[in-house]
Each structure stands twice: as C-alpha cells, then as structure tokens.
Structure 1
C-alpha cells in the first residue's frame, strides 16, 4: 500500500536559513529604551513604527529598522548633532522588548510568546505547552522575515529562532 499521498508537505521545503550571527537588528514592533542626557522627558521606551522609524523630541522621524542597538545610538547622536542641538550628545540605547514569536499547529497552547535571546525551537515548543500526541515532533516549519520578505523552511528542535518567527508544528501521519 502506498502512502505517497500522505506527505506532510515539509519534504519540498529547504531548511530555514540560519539566524544572523552577531547583534540583533531592530525591526518593526521592537521597543527600545532611550535616555538622552539634558533633554527632559526623553527617558522611556520607543516602539519602532511600521515605517521603521522612531520619533524623538526636536528631531524628525528617525529611520532605525535594520540597525543594531549601537548603530541606533550613533544615528540618534548624529541627528542631534546635525540639528545643532548638541555638540556631543550623551545617548543611551538598550533593547526593551523584542518582537514576539508565534507557535501554532500541534502544540498544547498555540499563541504568541515573548522572545528571549538564544531560544531554540525546543524552547519555543516548551513555552507553548509541548507537542500534542498527533505532532510531527522531529521537524517543524518556520516562516522567518529575511531582508523584508517571508521565507519558509524546515527546522529541527535545536534550530535557533529569531524574534518574529512563526513556528508551525504539523500533524504526523501514522
């Protein structure tokens, strides 16, 4: 008896490209904590808009999508220097909250979860309550945004995830 029609669909997908090595880039939906000495009411969290910008006092919208935290700090300092507000601005930038990741399919509690640095598929599945008895647990499907476009691929339990990943656990065929 042939089971060719019972394929999970993962066989045609390539492994998901590796998560970028090095500092995490700021993307839409991330919150960053910014403190600027000598300007009142700037200490706080700023969420990156859909356009990839943040808005700070005395300067226009500032493009930060795709930059690392040190690059965001430098961009803010340059903007205040260019506006003639400071010669040597004192700026502190830290990540506050990264985009969540999502787990759906054959897990006990599908949904949206808070990303933590260094997470793997296994940790993400554990946060979602583990696999159901119907789950194909040796391989999952991940949709990851890379350079502004969605890429779909397969991953194992040890594959690192990134903020914003969408993990889909498929049903196994008995």
Structure 2
C-alpha cells in the first residue's frame, strides 16, 4: 500500500485505480484494468506486474524495459490513469460515503461533494487519515489537500 498518494507531486498508483496501458502499433498489448487488492496486474506476454507504489511513469518505464528486445524493438509505451481510487468522508456531512478523487481536491471541495456540512458540524474538528499512514489521524484545515484513498472525518461542534 502506498505511503501517500503523492510522492514528489507524482500520483502513486494503488488498489482501486483504473489504468490504461497502450503500446503504439500493438493493439494486442492494450490493457484497460483496475488494480486489485494484490497491487498487481496481469499484462500480455509479461504476466503479473506489481504496480502499487509506482507512478504511471515508473510503470511505463518498467513495461518498456521488459518488452524491449525480447518482444519488440524500442516500443512506445503509454500508461494513463483513467479513474482514480475513491476517498471517503464521514461525520457531520449530509451524504457521507466514498467519492471519486480528483487531483488537487481540498477538504472543502470534498465536503461540497458530500452535500455540505450539517448544522452541527465543526469546521475546527476536521481530521484526515492518510492511506498507508501509521498515524491514526491528523487535524486538518478546510484547505488541506485530499489524496486518493484518504478518509476525512468532520466532527460535531458543541454549542
């Protein structure tokens, strides 16, 4: 499981992401798939490839290196994320649950997706649990960025 959905501002692939792999001029090497719990995909000619924890560029380079020479000469490999894994929001929001992640999303935008805050919600008691983090949760601000796989909790305020 990735420690964080972003490393050096590059998205880290993980279970639940949907990816597309294309090799120019080789339609039989096109693959649209969802990364499963194992963190691996089964790719034509190469078999199982571990993809969780890699960036799309690292996966692209890995496939290129494995195809180059044995199967193809200088293949043009392209990896694209077609759908990011979900993030989750619960507590004092109108519609808690899992929502599709979008790059650059903040907690405030996540709250909007969840139908807004309830009348008892606290904007000071906002916590985020980062996927793969050893810490249970961190206090967050409404402008804090949400990563794919994160869980946001909005607690109740006391009058």
What is the rounded CA distance, in whole Å, between the counterparts of 2:41 and 2:7 in structure 1?
A: 23
Any unmatched runs of 5+ in structure 2?
none
Normalising by structure 1, report the TM-score. 0.81
| Mapping of residues 16-27 of structure 1, within 5 Å | 20-27=7-14
Larger radius of gyration: 1
- Root mean square deviation, CA, Å: 1.9
Check conservation: 2:31, 2:43, Cα contact below 8 A. Answer: no
| Distance in 2, Cα, partners of 1:80 & 1:155 | 44
Q: 2:114 aligns with which of 128, 142, 148?
A: 128
Q: How far apart, CA to CA, are the structure 2 residues paired with 1:38 and 1:95?
A: 20
- Deviation by residue 1:60-102 (Cα, 9 ceiling, x = unmatched): 11111111111110011112136x1112111111111111111
- Which whole-Å deviations, capped at 9, do the CAs of 1:4-60 have from their partners, x for residues lacking one? xxxxxxxxxxxxx9x644111111111111111343333342222212111111111
CA–CA distance in structure 2, aligned partners of residues 63 and 90 of structure 1: 20
1:170 paired with 2:152, answer no
Q: How many residues align?
A: 155
1:128-166 CA distances to partner (integer Å, 9 max, x unpaired)?
01110111122311111236x564111110101100111
Is residue 29 of structure 2 the alignment partner of residue 35 of structure 1?
A: no
The two structures have a TM-score, normalised by structure 2, of: 0.88
Residue 146 of structure 1 is matched in structure 2 by: 132
* 2:103 corresponds to: 117
Gaps spanning 5+ residues in structure 1: where? 1-16
Partner of 1:64: 51
Matched, 1:47 2:34: yes
Larger strand share, 1 or 2: 2
For the Cα contact (< 8 Å) 1:139–1:157, is it kept in 2? Answer: no
Greater Cα offset, 151-160 or 138-147? 138-147
